[in-house]
Amino acid sequence: MSNPEAITAIADFAEELALRAGELIKHEREQNTLRTDYKQQSELVTHADVMADEMITGAIRERFPNHRILSEETMPDLSQAEHLDTPLWIIDPIDGTVNYAYGHPQVAISIAYAEQGRVQAGVVHAPFSGETFRATRGTGAALNGNPIKHSGATLPRDSLFATGFPYTKDSLEPLVNRLEAMIHQCRDLRRIGSAALDICWVACGRLDIYYENVSPWDFAAARLIALEAGATAGHFSEVPAGYPADLWGRDILISAPAVWETVRDILRKASGYE
């Protein structure tokens, strides 16, 4: 495992890349000529996604040629998360692509760095709001350099929760069951459109609870930020044996610590897991 100074240097590098990517995607959207396409016939992708991905991954390959990369647009091979022998970067060049294409501000660049399946550094940069969330393992979490902490929520009925929905709409019944259970037992729902920001907002107390099924690039950096802000992170179903929990995105649940177990029980029951 790298020493703390090396991890701090990696976090500095990740933040530099995230800021550069943020300027790139802001510039592209300001041109008012966004080129869009679809992957898997349903998921929106813009030319800016690919440009930012190539910029970030190219810089990582140049500085760390022996590191592996898992990125949403150019290297989305999820089996990379199963090989723990060499360091792994996990990148989402634009988390919230639909927001980005529609001119909404809830957009983020997410960059995480993992060793032996454990995320050691994470940066989530929201260029349109000028907010940068950052954490390294064991040192706390910060927003624009200032320490952050979870909300301290103690009851689900007083809690604000966030979740998301897949682009394909053929398996919605379990998700609707969970949503119905949560909306009846919590204060209210927020649908932000960026998993990375949902989780970072739990980290800084703007939300109390987040759950969803997501890919590693959506949550790897933000999950560490939430943990370092004192939130609880886990899953409401079982993580496969041998798979690093830091990178397993099915049935992820992140919340203020005092409500985590209760919300886990709500979601497990609504999912038919018990």
- What pLDDT was estimated at residue 32? 59
- Annotated binding residue at 95? yes
Sign of CA dihedral 182, 186, 187, 191: negative
- What pLDDT was estimated at residue 42? 44
State how far the alpha carbon of 145 is from the alpha carbons of 121, 148, 204, in Å.
Answer: 15, 9, 13
The residues of the chain that CATH labels 3.40.190.80 are 156-271
d(CA 211, CA 76): 22
- Annotated binding residue at 158? no
Sign of CA dihedral 203, 201, 249, 221: negative
- What pLDDT was estimated at residue 101? 86
Pairing of strands 188-190, 209-212: unpaired
**Diameter over CA atoms, the chain:** 51
The residues of the chain that CATH labels 3.30.540.10 are 4-147
- Annotated binding residue at 94? yes
* Segment-wise mean pLDDT, segments of 10 residues, the chain, 274 residues: 91 98 92 60 70 95 95 73 84 93 94 96 98 98 98 98 85 92 97 97 98 96 98 97 92 98 98 89
- What pLDDT was estimated at residue 99? 93
- Annotated binding residue at 92? yes
pTM: 0.94
The amino acid sitting at 113 is Y
**Three-class secondary structure of residue 205 per DSSP:** coil
**Residues in contact with 43: Cβ distance below 8 Å, sequence separation at least 6, in sequence order:** 97, 167
Identify the CATH number of the domain defined by range 156-271. Answer: 3.40.190.80
At the topology level of CATH, where does 4-147 sit? Answer: Fructose-1,6-Bisphosphatase; Chain A, domain 1 (3.30.540)
Residue 46: CB atoms within 10 Å: 22
Judge contact between 192 and 199, C-beta under 8 A. no
In the chain the beta strands, taken as DSSP E runs, fall at 36-39, 43-46, 68-71, 88-95, 108-115, 118-126, 131-136, 141-143, 146-147, 160-162, 188-190, 209-212, 232-235, 252-255
Output the six-digit token pair for 255: 């919340």
- Annotated binding residue at 209? no
